[in-house]
Amino acid sequence: MIKSPLTKSRATRILSGIFWVVPLAYADADFGNTAAIEQVGNAYQAVISQSGDGNIAHIRQVATRTELDEDLTAVNGSAEIDQSGSRHTAEINDFGKLNDITVQQWQSDNTALANVDGDNNQVRIEQNGLGQDVLVNADGNGNNVAVTQQGDYNSAAMAVDGNNNGLYLTQNGDSNTSNIQIAGNHNSVTALQVGNALNYSLELNGNNSSIGVTQNGS
């Protein structure tokens, strides 16, 4: 386990492929970026790439007890963080197999946390502007969560508990807030928002529902 992180460099790129238990940590005090990769299991793949100053990134990929006994040659799960600007914080926690998780972020002061517990899930998250934050919790199998954001000071919290759900959002303008929670199977939720200071909240319990929401003006 990595107790004290970390990688420090202006442009950090870490690629890790097939490992059993591999904590990676690098340090270069000049520019103050930090990054850590922690892997327990077989055939995980992780990428961290940071460009500006004061960025923090952590990828954790942990197999279940059953999966530790499997003999895998193909990629068991892939995680990527990218960041580009300054003072971003991103963390990926992947507890399962065949999950595909990306973050990205671009300008400055954005925060993203993705927690995935299950198999065959896909989580995207992007962010672009300033001072935005995203929290994604995906618990189950075969879920697809995408986010986006683009403007400044947007906030999104997305939670999925179940299987084969699709949860997408976009947000575009500034200071928009959303809180979306799904519990069940085979549900689909699309939301947009576009303007400024818009709020959207949804709690969905059940199966086979399809919901689309759009809010354009401020």
Render pLDDT for 89-139 as a digit per residue (tens, 0 to 9).
999 999 998 999 998 988 999 999 999 999 999 999 999 899 999 999 999
**116 assigned to some structural domain:** no
Q: pTM of the prediction?
A: 0.82
User: How many domains, the chain?
Assistant: 2
Which of 96, 137, 103 has its CA nearest to residue 120?
A: 96
Highest mean pLDDT among 13-17, 37-41, 103-107, 137-141: 137-141
- Does 7 share its domain with 97? yes
Q: Which class for 37: exposed (0-12), middle (13-18), buried (19 or more C-beta within 10 A)?
A: buried
What's the pLDDT tens digit per position in 54-92?
Answer: 999 999 998 765 555 555 555 578 999 988 889 999 999
Lookup: tokens for 94: 């992947």
Q: Provide the residue range defining the domain that includes 83.
A: 1-105
Contact 71/50 with Cβ under 8 angstroms?
A: no
| The pLDDT value given to residue 175 | 95
- Does 159 share its domain with 82? no
**165 assigned to some structural domain:** yes
Encoded amino acid at 111, one letter: T
| The pLDDT value given to residue 42 | 76
Question: pLDDT: is 218 or 182 the higher one?
Answer: 182
**119 assigned to some structural domain:** no
**111 assigned to some structural domain:** no
* Cα-to-chain-centroid distance, residue 99: 11
What are the φ and ψ backbone dihedral angles of 172, each rounded to 5 degrees? 60, -60
Percent of the chain scoring above 90 in pLDDT: 59
- Does 101 share its domain with 132? no
Lookup: tokens for 14: 């870490």
The alpha carbon torsion through 183, 91, 153, 8 (nearest 10 deg) reads 180
N- to C-terminal Cα separation, the chain? 46
